[in-house]
Amino acid sequence: MRHTAASSETALSIFRRKGGLLHTAEAVRGGIHPRTLYKLRDQGELEQVERGLYRLSSAEPLTNPDLVPIAVRVPRGVVCLISALAHHELTTQVPHAIYLALPSHSQAPKTHGIPIRVFWFSEPSFSAGIDIVRIDGVPVRIYSVEKTIADCFKYRNKIGLDLAIEALRAFKQRKRRRDTQALTKFARIDRVLGVMRPYLEAML
């Protein structure tokens, strides 16, 4: 009995160190037996966010109950396009799915109920301009403001040119945190500088 209690407390400590949210595979790698997870869930110490994803019941409610689980479940993914625009407050649209970039030829993830829309990015575009922000204690990979705008012009046929122009206009209106050189750099990486140039000249 003492061993079981100690194992449970150790598991809870691991959850606390990891920000209160763990995927089953990560928990097992950290030394937590699946039976301990199920026991803590049944005792109310853990809650199941979705299949294979657990968090401390005592933790504050997630501010983004879709984005955070996806960041844990798909650690290689990068939040992109409309989801990134919404995070950076560059659009009035509310995304109805998590827009996620993955490397070319990678497999689409299983998300068990959370809607996602996957875009496969080739290099060097995939690795360029990734910021890591902490949301609810979880590191989330998301493209920077400037990279996101360039991506929106690159994928204008899929998300709409109007959305890309709206984001660029919102970027122009920013008083600070506006890096036009970075915007030009990412436009070159995405090979859309020629497309963007008329809008850049008119707005910036």
Tokens of 20: 């209160």
Which tens digit of pLDDT belongs to each residue from 167-177? 999 998 886 66
Average pLDDT, the chain: 88
Q: Identify whether the C-beta of residue 72 lies closer than 8 Å to the C-beta of residue 42.
A: no
Low-confidence ranges of the chain (pLDDT < 50): 1-6
Quote the DSSP letter at residue 45. S
CA distance 137 to 100: 20
Calculate the dihedral angle through the C-alpha atoms of 87, 93, 97, 98, rounding to the nearest 10 degrees: -20
CA distance 80 to 150: 11
State the pTM of this model.
Answer: 0.80
- Domain assignments of the chain as residue spans, ordered by start: 2-56, 67-203
Which tens digit of pLDDT belongs to each residue from 96-127? 899 999 999 898 887 777 899 999 999 999 99
In angstroms, how far is the first alpha carbon of the chain from the final one? 68
Q: CA angle, 78 as apex, 73 and 81 as ends, to 5°?
A: 125
Centroid of chain to Cα 4: 36
